[in-house]
Chains A and B, each alone.
Chain A
């Protein structure tokens, strides 16, 4: 049965990359329809009128929006490599920490990296606290998902690449073995996974993009 799977996405977005990693793990063929962030295409506006944002998965023409909603959809639609644990409690933990990343970590990191002076100092303290809390979930594990990457690792993709780039642009040394040993180890392991390697954008491209953002007035997208 020919599946028609398309992704309205953007290679530089961690949210879009989440979906690509999940689809690749499941071995799903899909067509990437790259979107421009500033110029929203009619296709994007038609399929995500509420938020007008990528990623949008189109399965047999039907849109699914919001990266975490898409991940759950991919998990439930296609068998094969499981993304979520089987145990209901472990699933609840994965969902809890995914929310923690999206609702607490991301915005705190953005804000801290694009602020200055005392505000940045305070922001970075908060970032360190949040990341220490997150890395505690890696205790005794190779990945958040255990021996293999899973739902929470995919949601944490931001930490594997964008986090380091943003901290570099901000000139802050936070992501090192003495401050965040478990997270640093995880970043290495995560980035070594074949599907991750072929999905994440080149670091130097991101660095260039965010340096331009720094020079302007702040991040163009979240």
Chain B
């Protein structure tokens, strides 16, 4: 069976997308070799394994590469199917989880990025409002998905927990550096509690970067962006 083949993950510690793959592998108790990319360069292995996008994460399972974080999470769930399911078992619940994960990647994350990278102050403010609006939608979705349990996936972390939770480090950095609140006890109380539970989970705590370390990294990235020629 393929599960005895070796597993490698090409990634980097600050990336939320890489974190998704790591959490999925941790949930399934899969041993893997973590190959860290250096900022500013792309290794030969990365370029060979992901020639289309040249991006991390890339899972290499028995020499076969799988790219795109949520594709990797679903692959991990499919291969190590007997342990700890990541996607819910009911097709409708699966569709809801996939819908919100797609919303997070296609709409919400670009707004979060826009808070830091928007071309003008107005654009950054508009992005902030979109992020807050999105979190209100996700707070509501949490109520429907969790059915009173601690996670979107119920008793245990699932697909949608991974999709959103992987951004918690960056959410906290954005709050700290912007001196504002995104997750708010008044507006998104369930998500606040969920965030605590998520970060404390055994499959997450060793791969979630500390806020201070991530903030240092963010400052370094911003300094680099300011000094680099525009492209």
Give A residues with C-beta under 8 Å from B. Answer: 50, 59, 62, 64-66, 68-70, 72-73, 76-77, 88-89, 91-92, 95-96, 99-100, 133
| B74 contacts A66, C-beta separation under 8 Å | no
Whole-angstrom distance between the Cβ of A72 and the nearest chain B Cβ: 6
A-B contact pairs, 13 of them (CB 8 A): A50-B137, A65-B99, A66-B99, A72-B98, A77-B91, A88-B2, A88-B75, A88-B78, A89-B64, A91-B75, A91-B78, A92-B74, A95-B74
Asked whether, in the complex, the Cβ of A69 is within 8 Å of the Cβ of B75, the reply is no
Distance from A84 Cβ to chain B, minimum over Cβ atoms (Å): 10
Find A76's partner among B71, B79, B94 (CB 8 Å cutoff): B94
Contact of B98 with A99 in the complex, beta carbons under 8 Å: no
A69 contacts B95, C-beta separation under 8 Å = yes
A50-B103, A62-B92 given; 16 more Cβ-contact pairs under 8 Å: A64-B92, A64-B95, A64-B99, A69-B95, A73-B95, A88-B75, A89-B2, A89-B61, A92-B75, A92-B78, A95-B68, A95-B74, A96-B66, A99-B71, A100-B52, A133-B52
Query: In angstroms, how far is the closest chain A Cβ from the Cβ of B27?
Result: 16
Per-residue contact bits, chain B 77-103, to A (CB 8 Å; 1 contact, 0 not): 011000000000001101100110011
Q: Who on chain B is nearest to A60 by CB? A: B92
Q: How far is the CA of A77 from the CA of B95 in the complex (A)?
A: 11
Residues of A contacting B79 in the complex (Cβ-Cβ under 8 angstroms): 88
The distance in angstroms between the C-alpha atoms of A70 and B102, with both chains bound, is 12
User: Among the listed B72, B74, B91, which residue makes an inter-chain contact with A73, where contact means beta carbons less than 8 Å apart?
Assistant: B91
Shortest C-beta distance, A70 to chain B (Å), equals 7
Contacts of B92 in A (CB 8 A): 59, 62, 64, 73
Q: CA separation between A64 and B78, bound complex, in Å?
A: 22
Which chain A positions have C-beta within 8 A of B2? Answer: 88-89
Of the listed residues A59, A66, A96, A100, the one surrounded by the most CB atoms of chain B closer than 10 A to its CB is A96
- Summarize A's interface: helix, strand, loop or mixed: helix
Number of A-B contacts (CB under 8 A): 56
Contact partner, A95, options B52, B71, B94, B137, Cβ 8 Å: B71
Instruction: List the A side residues contacting B91 at CB < 8 Å.
Output: 73, 76-77
Residues on A with beta carbons closer than 8 Å to the beta carbon of B102: 66, 68-69
B10 at the interface (CB under 8 A from A): no
Q: Does B67 lie at the interface of the complex (its beta carbon under 8 Å from any beta carbon of A)?
A: yes
Task: Check A73–B94 contact: CB distance below 8 A.
Answer: yes
* Cβ contact within 8 Å between B75 and A89: yes
Q: Which residues of A contact B72 (CB under 8 A)?
A: 92
Determine the chain B residues whose CB is within 8 A of the CB of A91 once the complex forms: 74-75, 78
**A65 contact set on B, CB distance < 8 A:** 99
A-side contacts of B75, CB under 8 Å: 88-89, 91-92
Scoring B residues 89 to 131 as 1 if CB is less than 8 Å from chain A, else 0, what string do you get? 0011011001100110000000000000000000000000000
Residues of chain A lying within 8 A (CB to CB) of residue B66: 89, 92, 96
Contacts of B68 in A (CB 8 A): 95-96, 99
Expressed in whole angstroms, the minimum distance between the Cβ of B76 and any Cβ of chain A is 9
User: In the bound complex, what is the Cα–Cα distance between A66 and B99 (angstroms)?
Assistant: 7
A18 and B85 CA atoms in complex are apart in Å by 28
Q: Which residues of B contact A72 (CB under 8 A)?
A: 94-95, 98
What are the 6 A-B residue pairs with the smallest beta carbon separation, nearest first?
A88-B78, A76-B91, A92-B75, A73-B95, A69-B98, A64-B95
> How far is it, in angstroms, between the C-alpha of A133 and the C-alpha of B51 when the chains are bound?
10
Residue of B nearest to A49 (CB): B137
CB distance from B157 to the nearest CB of A (A): 21
Q: A residues within 8 A CB of B99? A: 64-66, 69
Whole-angstrom distance between the alpha carbons of A99 and B66 in the complex? 13
Question: How long is the Cα–Cα vector from A96 to B74 in the complex, in angstroms?
Answer: 11
Chain B residues with Cβ under 8 A from A88's Cβ? 2, 75, 78-79
